[in-house]
Structure 1
Amino acid sequence: MKNVKTLTLIAAAVAAMTTGTVQAEQFYGFASVSVNYLDWTDKAEERSNGGYGGAKEDFVYLEVEGGAGYSWGDVYGFIDLENPQNINTSDRDFSGSPVTDSFRVAAKGSVAVNIGESNWNFYNHIYSLTVAGEGFFDQNLVTGVSYDIFTDSGFWIKPFLGLHYENQTFSGSGFNGYMAGWVLGYNFKLGGQDFMVTQWHETEFAREDQFRSNGTQYTLDSVGHNGAVSLWWNATKEFTAGVQYRYADQKLGTAAYHDGVIFTAKYNF
């Protein structure tokens, strides 16, 4: 029930992004649906499936994404349906082999509220992952501050720093150190076409021992990294194609560096 409530709150936040806010000036807004394919590298699969934990397999996922900026701050969120072809499959694998093709729901919602007239914000985000076939869930709440930087060149960046609270099936609930990171973007034209480079990055540090076990002989380091660098081609107002380099180190249950490529076709509302 707790997971359902969390996903409901995130879904409500995503829905709110596409609507106006009473007595607030809206500066920007976007919403999209996309089809994505994540292709892990051979090295990533060898490390993840070969004893370092967090077994990996290539998969398709559908995503609903949206965001908006207002005079009081900004909001962002997404909901991913991973392995949607297995949405009606819920049998757990009791053979001891990792379940890599389970239907999964990943969702994130974030809000940054302006602090006075400054570029500083009160920042909060919540991320939730639920794995149907394994009865696994992991929820991460980060609360802290962020800072907005915009330039006339088309480059922008929003770094953040916050306390990290985690609630997970096997590790329980509690304080799990800190998280720092950023989202950034750069818009440019090439050959008369509109392109954009973006990155999101998260670094967890001072993680508690309680959350560093991954079910293998290895233990996750106290510091972990997670993120992606993306190139987007805005072919038309409605259609965007993208390729993303996805990376993680001492994250996603794997006590090693692992990476992959995501291919995306996106429809913009």
Structure 2
Amino acid sequence: MSFCKRTEALELNLKNAYSSVNAGYANWNSGFVNVPRGEVWKLTADFGAIFDKGEFYSFYENNVLNHDIEGQNYVVSAQTHIRLLSSDFSLMGKLYGQFDNKWSDDLDMLYGLGYLGWSGKSGFFKPYIAFHNESSDYKSKEMGGKSASGRNGYTVGWTSAYFFSLWEEKFVLSNWNEFEFDRNDAYAEQQHGKNGINGGLTLTWKFYPHLKASMTWRYFENKLGYDGFGDQMIYMLGYEF
């Protein structure tokens, strides 16, 4: 009897699952700031699942397809919230890896607390605060080869979305955002500051069953190896499963 109760406690009831593949184009010169990095063709894929006891989201991106293989880069991300004692508070974890064939590789590891209580039919807002641990191949020449790996401050962030209809068409306005604070010295040197911002604001038009078009304003400050504020525009076509 006790074994059955423990088994039932571990069961996950799937509420929703979603996935898509996308292809598109980004231009570093088409935002509010002219970032001198040119055009980027890209492929992405994502998958997510929401359970009664938590949720999971993953993302893959292949960038700079208009360059030879040595000039391309890749992003792999996975994020989860696990509800605490069936409440709206959660244990939050995130892995975010960026792998560049020319520049450098790094893996961001976040672990902290989140909140899932602000969700409904019209949208959601899911904030979190987390410790930030870094694994990087960057070493500071100014600091005698000091590595950017290790404790890297903390992050305050969120994911959010608003679902609406306009002229009988379905749209989604979504935003992800991260504020990075108190970075370690070597990482701060690489990213041009002890603090930074990283995020994106996306408008998606679901114009046909399974098909979507999106436009993203990708913004950052002292991030992606850029000194100060920068941005780019991203245009994608996708298929939802």
TM-score category by the smaller chain? 0.7 to 0.9
SS of the equivalent of 1:213 reads helix
Cα deviations by residue, 1:178-237 (Å, 9 ceiling, x for unpaired): 0110000000111111111000000000111121113xxxx7221100101111111123
In structure 1, what is the equivalent of residue 214 of structure 2? 242
Counterpart residue identity of residue 127, structure 2: P
In structure 1, what is the equivalent of residue 153 of structure 2? 177
Distance in 2, matches of 1:183 and 1:152, equals 14
* 1:25 maps to 2:19: no
* 1:73 maps to 2:54: yes
Distance in 1, matches of 2:66 and 2:164, equals 36
SS of the equivalent of 2:56 reads strand
Cα deviations by residue, 1:15-69 (Å, 9 ceiling, x for unpaired): xxxxxxx9321111101000021111366445xx5xxxxxx23201100101010
Q: Map 1:80-119 to 2 at 5 A.
A: 80-86=61-67, 89-90=69-70, 102-119=71-88
Q: Per residue, is there more strand in 1 or in 2?
A: 2
Q: Per residue, is there more helix in 1 or in 2?
A: 1
Task: Work out whether residues 180 and 195 of structure 2, in 8 Å CA contact, stay in contact via their aligned partners in 1.
Answer: yes
Shift of 1:105: 1.0
Task: Work out whether residues 45 and 57 of structure 1, in 8 Å CA contact, stay in contact via their aligned partners in 2.
Answer: no
Distance in 2, matches of 1:41 and 1:84, equals 17
SS of the equivalent of 1:210 reads helix
In structure 1, what is the equivalent of residue 171 of structure 2? 195
In structure 1, what is the equivalent of residue 5 of structure 2? none
Distance in 1, matches of 2:188 and 2:118, equals 36
Shift of 1:115: 0.3
With the length of structure 2 as denominator, give the TM-score of the two structures.
0.87
Size of the aligned set, in residue pairs, is 223
* 1:145 maps to 2:113: yes
Which of 89, 103, 106 is the equivalent residue of 1:120? 89
Counterpart residue identity of residue 149, structure 1: G
Identity among equivalent positions (%) equals: 23
SS of the equivalent of 1:251 reads coil
Unaligned runs of 5+ in 1: 1-21, 50-55, 91-101
In structure 2, what is the equivalent of residue 97 of structure 1? none
Task: Work out whether residues 213 and 220 of structure 1, in 8 Å CA contact, stay in contact via their aligned partners in 2.
Answer: yes
In structure 2, what is the equivalent of residue 5 of structure 1? none
Unaligned runs of 5+ in 2: 1-9, 140-146
Task: Work out whether residues 41 and 63 of structure 2, in 8 Å CA contact, stay in contact via their aligned partners in 1.
Answer: yes
What do you get for the CA RMSD once the two structures are aligned? 1.8
Shift of 1:152: 4.5
In structure 2, what is the equivalent of residue 212 of structure 1? 188
Counterpart residue identity of residue 131, structure 2: L
Distance in 2, matches of 1:151 and 1:223, equals 29
SS of the equivalent of 1:212 reads helix
Distance in 2, matches of 1:152 and 1:72, equals 16
With the length of structure 1 as denominator, give the TM-score of the two structures.
0.78
Distance in 2, matches of 1:23 and 1:176, equals 35
In structure 2, what is the equivalent of residue 130 of structure 1? 99
